[in-house]
Amino acid sequence: MIVAQGVTKSYGETLVVDRVSLRLPRNGITSIIGPNGAGKSTFLSMVSRLLAMDAGTVTVDGLDVTKGRTDELAKRLSILRQDNHIVARLTVSDLVSFGRYPHSKGRLTLEDRQHIERAISYLGLEDLADRFLDELSGGQRQRAFVAMVLCQDTDYVLLDEPLNNLDMKHAVGMMKLLRRAADELDKTVVLVLHDINFASVYSDHIVCMQEGRVVHQGPPVDVITPSVMREVYGLDIAVHVIGGQLISIYYR
């Protein structure tokens, strides 16, 4: 379980994350939604120790993310942010191999190689394994990074807007894959999503943030409601049940 207590971050005078206390349950998919500037990505960055917090604590299965050993944490929790620009020239399989670094510190064992192969085939990247990253499309590169994170084989996988740059087909493919990873590989997936329909359809748990605070949380039925959406996004959003799923209509 990831436990955040009183997590706070401000840039100058602006309070971006305001005393967020949250328990993210083990297993399943948790999505964090909310308008731009709600502090979702900032919160995720602090949970994954990429960003120092001004106050508060975060523990992952009891390990404090700021005080604990960072190499130990890398075996429990992985994070993927939106833009990953890499200066070095790497092939897809080079990149995926880096996912084993927390376990083998650069000396790949036979077991590591099996993990790498499995991650590459899980993302359907076999044909691209020897291609350089700068020769790939945005969506392919995104999949390569997700393969690296899966190869890291952590219980917790944190993804900041993983559907950016992806077309409908690949977005659906990515969400299905994360669902499979949660169900088959027993991963706990935490996502920041902008598309509330993807959040509604694929998540077990939704956390709704607004102005640096958690305003609602719970299973999709409790969160994806016209009243919550109106409060958070300031829009009149109709929520329909289509094929047993809650779909919000917000286009006009």
Q: By the criterion CB under 8 A, which residues form the site for another protein?
A: 48-50, 70-75, 78-81, 84-90, 94-95, 98-99, 101-102, 105-107, 149, 152
Closest distance of CB 139 from another protein, Å: 19
Closest distance of CB 153 from another protein, Å: 12
Q: Which is nearer to another protein, 74 or 185 (CB)?
A: 74
Q: Which is nearer to another protein, 98 or 233 (CB)?
A: 98
Closest distance of CB 126 from another protein, Å: 16
Q: Which is nearer to another protein, 106 or 243 (CB)?
A: 106
- Reference 119, options 138, 156, 92, 101; nearest CA is 92
d(CA 119, CA 122): 5
Q: Which is nearer to another protein, 149 or 174 (CB)?
A: 149
Q: Which is nearer to another protein, 58 or 199 (CB)?
A: 58
Closest distance of CB 124 from another protein, Å: 22
What is the signed CA dihedral for 28, 84, 166, 241, rounded to 10 degrees? 30
3-class secondary structure per residue, 120-152: HHHCCCHHHCCCEHHHCCHHHHHHHHHHHHHHC
> Residue 102: enclosing H or E segment and its boundaries?
helix 101-104
- Reference 76, options 116, 48, 41; nearest CA is 48
Closest distance of CB 162 from another protein, Å: 14
d(CA 45, CA 155): 17
